[in-house]
Chains A and B, each alone.
Chain A
């Protein structure tokens, strides 16, 4: 079989217009040979999950810099479960305080990266996790 390409969706949810980080990560993942689908800004959790399922991605990466992460992520996990798609690896990036990270991890978030992260770390994590 030919090499299987990792498919990743990079998404921004809600009233959060800061997408520089999401775009930097999207480009880094592309340059690592992955197929990256970027949804653009101002999506609802429902839209992001629908898109992720249509695109059948291995990884859903959500960037959150607005402080709404404790609303966004639980919604995403619920929607994924509704569609029987809870095998999609969900990761996050942006600003999330340590306590919240722990809570989200318990809900099923695989990993979270904050400012200053090396894109190489994200790439190797995803490559290993999707294997």
Chain B
């Protein structure tokens, strides 16, 4: 077991690949190994790249990775793609756009499907990123699938969030406003060689004009053509500026602390719900339901009684839930 950790630490791709599989399929062994991995994490720059399907996220990541390699920093990538809700199968194709990177042993790429992760996608992604950190990757990037709430959950766990969008995604920008757009630290308008790009560019600029994240960073809009490399250097510089900014005034630890707090609350809440479901005896609920249906008590009274019952059953060490 600790052997696998040592092999990951020495950068062995076979060991890292295997460990990520254990995490991904919720194997109990992973829970034993992860605590041994944690102490070797925290030093990497964690990046989340999100945006609608087809926006060019994979191509952009490939170009960015080359920039990082150029300055001597190694790169780990977790690419999330869409799992079919019907068959549970997935065609994970992000690697196709990153072919060049497979040639370079300073890069590690792993593809995962967005559904069917036993501990949840966000957790699976985070732990996989940690494996890449423990392997010694300096920059660890997650590419989201570009759909749904899980994207928001994933980007909630990284040091920098890059939103990639495209000129034809005008309407989607509207949809993005309330969600992921707010989480973005840097916005990329990709495929600006398309005619519609000017309009959306200014629309986006307007949308985020003077927009700062909670710590005071002004969100830039960067125009790129990932395929030709246009604007990639500017994006790289912007990421660099953001990283430097994060490293000032303890902003990075503050951001990570906030994220962990949020995550902890979420997990504790889930744990409490599971525990409650476990404690709440079926018979009690059925009795109460019968009494409500028979008109003996009203719903709220029944809830109150059940909650009190729960508090008592825990030997008085818990205060009743406030109602």
Contacts and interface: CB of A to CB of B under 8 A. Distances in A.
Contact of A40 (B13, B87, B99, B108): B99
A38 B17 contact: no
Given A26-B91, A35-B90, A37-B95, A55 B111 contact: yes
Interface in B1-35: 13-14, 16-18, 20-21, 25-27
Given A5-B25, A30-B87, A33-B88, A38 B14 contact: no
A1 B26 contact: yes
Contacts of A43: 99, 102
A50 B89 contact: no
A51 interface: yes
B289 interface: no
Interface string A19-36: 000000011011111111
Question: Could you tell me the dominant secondary structure of chain B's interface residues?
Answer: mixed
A35 B118 CA distance: 15
A38 B113 CA distance: 13
Contacts, number: 89
Contacts of A84: 14
A31 B89 contact: yes
Interface in B90-115: 90-93, 95-96, 99, 102-103, 105, 108-111, 113
Interface in B41-71: none
Given A32-B89, A47-B102, A47-B103, A38 B96 contact: yes
Nearest to A31: B87
Given A30-B87, A47-B103, A40 B116 contact: no
Between B21, B92, B108, B110, the greatest number of chain A beta carbons within 10 A of the residue's beta carbon is seen for B92
Interface in A78-106: 83-85
Contacts of A26: 91
Closest 8 CB pairs of A and B: A56-B17, A40-B96, A30-B89, A56-B21, A47-B102, A33-B89, A33-B88, A30-B91
Interface of A: 1-2, 4-5, 7, 26-27, 29-40, 42-44, 47, 50-51, 53-56, 83-85
Given A5-B116, A31-B84, 6 more contacts: A1-B25, A32-B87, A35-B92, A43-B102, A44-B103, A55-B111
